[in-house]
Amino acid sequence: MALGLAAPASAAPVDTYSTELLHFSVRTGPDRATPCTIVGQLYRPAGLSPSRRAPAVLTTNGFGGSYTTQAPIARYLATQGYVVLAYSGLGFGGSACPITLDDPDVDGVAASQLIDYLGGRTGIAYTDAALRRPAPALDVVTHDDVDHSGRRRADDPRVGMVGGSYGGGIQFATAAVDPRLDTIVPQITWNDLSYSLAPNATSTFSGVSTRVSGSAKIVYAAGLFVDGVTNPGRAGYLSDPARITPCPNFTVTQCTTFAEGATVGQFSPAGVAHLRHASVSSYIDRIHIPVLLEQGQRDTLFDLNEAVATYQALRARGVPTSMIWQQWGHSGGPAPGEYDRAHPDRTTQYEVGRTLDWLDHHLKGLDVDTGPQFAYFRNWVPYTGIATPAYASDSYPVGTTSSFRLSAGQGLLDGAIVAAGAPARPGGATIRTPLLGGRTQTGPYDDAPDSGKPVRQDPGTYARWDTAPRTTPLDVVGIPTMRLRLRALGQPLVFAKIYDVAPDGSADLINGLVSPIRVADPTEPVTVTLSGLVHRFAVGHRLRVEIAGGDQSFRTGLQGQPVTILSGPDTSLTLPVTSG
């Protein structure tokens, strides 16, 4: 980071700050030919001046939100001495133009012009929605001598970004197009949207990206589409009629891609290419600044595997990167003392403390510890107050690997998981997959796996293998893998799940995680990468692997057929473990 051009403000918290609603005129697209307007709220700590400056933080909403949803963290950052600009992303909360899924050529370019404003440029910000009253130049943000490409610029603010989900993806998109951005803290966001929305646990060629599209997440996709279409409201569509047709508030390509997932259950090569264009997996070589990744263990939209893919790709290039696996995500809330979105506090919440330490170090230049390279939350560790005691600190990956085999039983339900050195009985369990995307299961959907509703699978649609009851705890931390053999026609689609089975026989699908497996060639062994997890199998509990023909949260296959899952010495389950 380059030295600032003016004395920074004190690192001590401030009592007051001012706010101002602003409207921004930006031009987006690779050639900046498309005009868009953006609405945002500026938070300015008291006591700043051209000779007493402070670094800035840019933040925007998750999908369906607006600049107002960022108000709690923006207010808190202002009390911590940061100039904050919270804005509504394109297509949301009063900002114009269609949603483009955090495309760096569109959303990233738009955010870059907000950095222009933070750097002191005029002609971008206005105090009225009609864009007739220009806002004065902002002259209280710390400047850098050079940007991260080595270029000297007069409009280079010291600035970071924070935000979650859709507000996390935009941080990578902005960093890819603007070397003035100094650090980012993306929470619960994606690596490859084609995996996020239609994952395949096999045919992986890089990170989480696969050669064969998997199974579409119909619940999440429907929710995202509805949120996007309805967000502008009547007033938004009346003020910007071009957003109505041919695809309301989305691009035509996005409508086509959503339709593919809903009808055939997977994406075409064109749909995959479109989603990957808006994914950091495609432009990760353009990210050069420090990154603090925060990903949720209870997240069935963007799983831990996506954070790992980004983390490993960045660190392989020498980019300073740390990663936190917290309990909360899209599918469940935080544990006490982790993070309170409505009332963030660095002194009582582990993640807020880590985030502020990271920003203080990389933006204010303070000599503070930014924490371990990797930390993960253990829900079996008791504590009171801040969640720090429940977090283990290490480097990724942790622990060792433990290998098992699938051993056949007398029927579908009594297969066994045995140690790698124990005899594994060969055999096959035949299940059926539904015709035309039919349902084989009732229970909670993947966006709310902790609803308490029981899961019921139709007979004949699943096969299961259990370990013996544990005599010592087994702590699994990381990404499990399997090696399977199947017999089927075409490209069969099945779903892998890991359960914790209690002594009373009740089974808990861990964090609601399901891994679709669309097999390109069932005549060959299949390597399966399951969703990552952090879980303790307590004494007396069993680990269960289930392969099912369908799952109600996904668009299952169109061609129903029998699929035989083989057991024996040439099958395997590999677990990353820290104890047991």
Query: What are the tens digits of pLDDT across the range 459-496?
Result: 889 999 999 999 999 999 999 999 999 999 999 999 99
Q: What is the mean pLDDT of residues 258-269?
A: 93
Of residues 435 and 550, the one with the higher pLDDT is 550
The residue extents of the domains of the chain are 17-191+279-394, 197-276, 400-579
* Helix/strand/coil percent split, the chain, to 5: 25, 30, 45
Q: What is the mean pLDDT of residues 542-554?
A: 94
Q: Give the number of other Cβ atoms within 10 Å of residue 579's Cβ.
A: 12
As given in the structure block, the two tokens for residue 385 are: 């107050």
Homologous superfamily of domain range 400-579: Galactose-binding domain-like (2.60.120.260)
Closest to 547 (Cα-Cα) out of 205, 296, 201: 201
* Strand partners for 51: none
Specify the amino acid at residue 201.
A
* Residue 452: per-residue pLDDT: 60
What single-letter DSSP state applies at residue 433?
Answer: P
Q: Is-contact 93 67, C-beta < 8 A? A: yes
Band the pLDDT of 15: cuts 50, 70, 90. confident
Closest to 161 (Cα-Cα) out of 51, 55, 31: 55
Query: What are the tens digits of pLDDT across the range 335-360?
Result: 999 999 999 999 999 999 999 999 99
The region that residue 490 occupies, defined by phi over 0 for left and psi between -120 and 50 for alpha, beta otherwise, is left
Q: Is-contact 295 266, C-beta < 8 A? A: no
Band the pLDDT of 449: cuts 50, 70, 90. confident
What single-letter DSSP state applies at residue 134?
Answer: B
Q: What is the mean pLDDT of residues 77-91?
A: 98
* Residue 2: per-residue pLDDT: 46
As given in the structure block, the two tokens for residue 3 are: 């030295």
Query: What are the tens digits of pLDDT across the range 228-243?
Result: 999 999 988 998 888 9
| Distance separating alpha carbons of residues 540 and 471, to the nearest angstrom | 6
Mean pLDDT of the chain: 94
Residue 436 pLDDT greater than 80, yes or no: no
| Distance separating alpha carbons of residues 569 and 274, to the nearest angstrom | 41
CATH number, span 17-191+279-394: 3.40.50.1820
| Distance separating alpha carbons of residues 383 and 391, to the nearest angstrom | 10
Q: What is the mean pLDDT of residues 78-104?
A: 97
- 468 burial type by CB count under 10 A (0-12 exposed, 13-18 middle, 19+ buried): exposed
* Residue 342: per-residue pLDDT: 96
Q: Percentage of residues in the chain with pLDDT exceeding 70?
A: 96
Residue 27 parent element (H or E):
strand 17-28
Query: What are the tens digits of pLDDT across the range 202-211?
Result: 999 999 999 9
pTM summary value: 0.95
Band the pLDDT of 1: cuts 50, 70, 90. very low
Residue 252 pLDDT greater than 60, yes or no: yes
Q: Is-contact 301 220, C-beta < 8 A? A: yes
- Give the best-scoring range by mean pLDDT among 1-15, 64-78, 405-419: 64-78
Which of 140-154, 443-457, 554-568 shows the lowest mean pLDDT across its residues? 443-457
* Residue 3: per-residue pLDDT: 44
| Distance separating alpha carbons of residues 393 and 370, to the nearest angstrom | 12
Residue 447 pLDDT greater than 80, yes or no: no
Q: What is the mean pLDDT of residues 370-399?
A: 97
Q: Is-contact 64 227, C-beta < 8 A? A: yes
- Nearest-10 Cα torsion for 156, 159, 163, 167: 0
3-state secondary structure (DSSP) of residue 108: helix
Q: What is the mean pLDDT of residues 36-40?
A: 97
* Residue 411: per-residue pLDDT: 58
Question: How many residues are there in the chain?
Answer: 580
Residue 567 pLDDT greater than 80, yes or no: yes
